[in-house]
């Protein structure tokens, strides 16, 4: 059986608004394409599925189920720090996007893969988990929380308070319309973690939980292009697709 074709696009560093407009355009195109095929009676059809990678300029985004109370800065304070803010239609609470982070936006028609939202989110998590394994980092899922977490002592040998906690390294929030996906993940690679001090990340306020980055875990800056390539390959394996 031939592999499903998937377009890969790395947009480089973008404003959140520009990336949001672009992925919304792609999302709408897939829905319109699907409806046209179905109207014409096609049971199977091809779609221009796309996986988008980008890094954003500093921005906080709040999901539709999130609380504005989890943003700890005023509008003036965010402006002074050159941080944007968007209230968006993905699931989840508040998170940060910024330089040194791989933000992935898969725009997929899941009717061409499988119609199972739970499986879809698990596959996104698994792609990140497999990538982290290649750096010797033990990552896992934790019950009740979407995303990817790190356990155990950091390879870096860090002994600060963060090293003793459960550490979230990748946030995931998705939205589906007519089985076409929108939004995706934010994977902290060389991310400046100080930005997370001004929010309650993903609404998680427990004292034994915090956020981390691959750089913190390893104690060195990481080649983000290498991480992207490995992540992309694991994504292709899980979704049984090939990039064109």
Per the listing, tokens 């990538």 go with 131
218/238 Cα distance (integer angstroms): 26
CA angle 233, 59, 80 (to 5 degrees): 150
Backbone angles phi, psi at 115, to 5 degrees: -105, 75
243/194 Cα distance (integer angstroms): 35
The 10 Å CB-count burial string (b at 16+, else e) for 84-104 is bbeebebbbbbbbbbebbbbb
| CA nearest to 232, candidates 220, 216, 244 | 244
Q: Tell me, yes or no, if 241 is annotated catalytic.
A: no
Q: Which of 112, 170, 202, 241 is catalytic?
A: 202
Q: Cite the active site residues.
A: 202
């Amino acid at each position: 059986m031939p592999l499903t074709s998937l377009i890969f696009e790395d947009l480089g560093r973008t404003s959140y608004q520009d990336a949001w407009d672009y992925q919304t355009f792609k999302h709408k195109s897939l829905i319109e394409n699907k409806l046209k095929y179905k109207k014409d009676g096609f049971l199977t059809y091809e779609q221009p599925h796309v996986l988008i990678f980008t890094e954003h300029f500093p921005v906080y985004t709040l999901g539709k189920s999130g609380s504005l109370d989890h943003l700890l800065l005023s509008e003036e304070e965010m402006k002074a720090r050159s941080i944007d803010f968007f209230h968006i239609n993905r699931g989840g609470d508040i998170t940060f996007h910024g330089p040194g982070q791989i933000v992935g936006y898969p725009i997929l028609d899941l009717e061409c893969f499988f119609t199972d939202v739970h499986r879809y989110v698990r596959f996104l998590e698994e792609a990140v988990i497999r990538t982290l394994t290649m750096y010797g980092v033990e990552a896992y899922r934790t019950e009740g929380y979407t995303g990817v977490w790190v356990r155990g002592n950091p390879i870096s040998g860090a002994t600060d308070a963060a090293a003793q906690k459960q550490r979230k390294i990748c946030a995931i929030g998705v939205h589906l319309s007519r089985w076409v996906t929108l939004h995706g993940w934010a994977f902290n690679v060389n991310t400046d973690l100080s930005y997370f001090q001004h929010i309650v990340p993903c609404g998680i306020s427990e004292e034994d939980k915090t956020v981390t980055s691959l750089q913190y875990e390893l104690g060195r800056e990481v080649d983000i292009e290498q991480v992207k390539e490995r992540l992309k390959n694991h994504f292709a394996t899980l979704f049984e697709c090939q990039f064109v």
